[in-house]
Amino acid sequence: MEESNMRTTSFIFDFIGGLFILLDGAFSLPINMPMQVYAMAFPFLAIDSIHLFLSILSVAMGAVVIALTLVYLVQKRKQSINFSLVLLSIAIISFLSGGGFIVGAVLLIIVNVWSVAGHLTFKAIKPGQNRISKSASGVQKPLRQNLTADEKVIWDLINKNKGTILQSKLIAESGFSKVKTTRTLDKLEARGLIERRRIGMSNVIVRK
């Protein structure tokens, strides 16, 4: 299911379910104007019957929402963390909280209105992904223009190897001497573009 369709479908079910929950809470109050009007208009029906009916409908709607969010989370678990996590938590809490049904219904409606408006979409970002992406797109292109010819050669080789490369491999691929490579790396490190790490007997160059 597409994310936009998921938001719309969940909103519809939650909105209807939330209204049922609100009505359920209204009918359960000991002194309530809608309840008195209902009793006068439909004296042949018991309050308990309508209360039970609304309870079943609200729980059914909630079950549909929970099922939809679980299916969505399973399908999209590797792509994004959606508002479904928030939605699922509120739905379960509202159904288990007894008198909190009304609060749960209001929260469900607010969350879904918010999500349909596009304010509750969280993209899953792997550790370091955002930092690397920023370095690659936001820093790499503007700064490359300011690099010297030797620095560009080293910088391009580091990016070609996805931001991590052994210094020995860097020397071999660049064709520079060890001294020239070291001096160029010193300049790039001073610019804050790379860092050198010692792993065993080897130096590893890592793009920041």
Identify each DSSP E strand in 55-167 by its residue range: 80-81, 122-123, 164-166
The pLDDT of residue 177: 92
Looking up tokens 């520079």 gives 176
Q: Are residues 118 and 160 in the same domain?
A: no
Same domain, 78 and 158: no
pLDDT of residue 145: 77
Task: Tell me what pLDDT residue 120 has.
Answer: 44
At residue 138, the pLDDT reads: 43
* pLDDT of the residue at 57: 63
Q: In terms of domains, do 19 and 112 share one?
A: yes
The set of residues, in sequence order, having a beta carbon less than 8 Å from that of 84 and lying 6+ positions away, is 6, 10, 69, 72, 73
Last residue of a domain, one of 82, 103, 123: 123
Query: Which of 122, 121, 87 lies closest to 107, judged by CA?
Result: 87
Please give the tally of structural domains in the chain.
2
pLDDT in the model for residue 48? 57
Q: What is the pLDDT of residue 146?
A: 82
Domain that holds residue 57: 3-123
Weakly modelled stretches of the chain, pLDDT under 50: 1-2, 29-40, 42, 44-45, 78-81, 98-100, 119-142
Q: How far apart, in whole angstroms, are the C-alpha atoms of residue 144 and residue 21?
A: 60
Q: How far apart are CA 129 and CA 86, in angstroms?
A: 24
User: How far apart are alpha carbons 165 and 181 in whole angstroms?
Assistant: 13
Q: Are residues 102 and 203 in the same domain?
A: no
Report the C-alpha gap between 98 and 208 in whole angstroms.
52
13 and 114 in a single domain? The answer is yes
Position 80 scores a pLDDT of 46
Here the CATH number for the domain that contains residue 197 is 1.10.10.10
Last residue of a domain, one of 93, 123, 153: 123
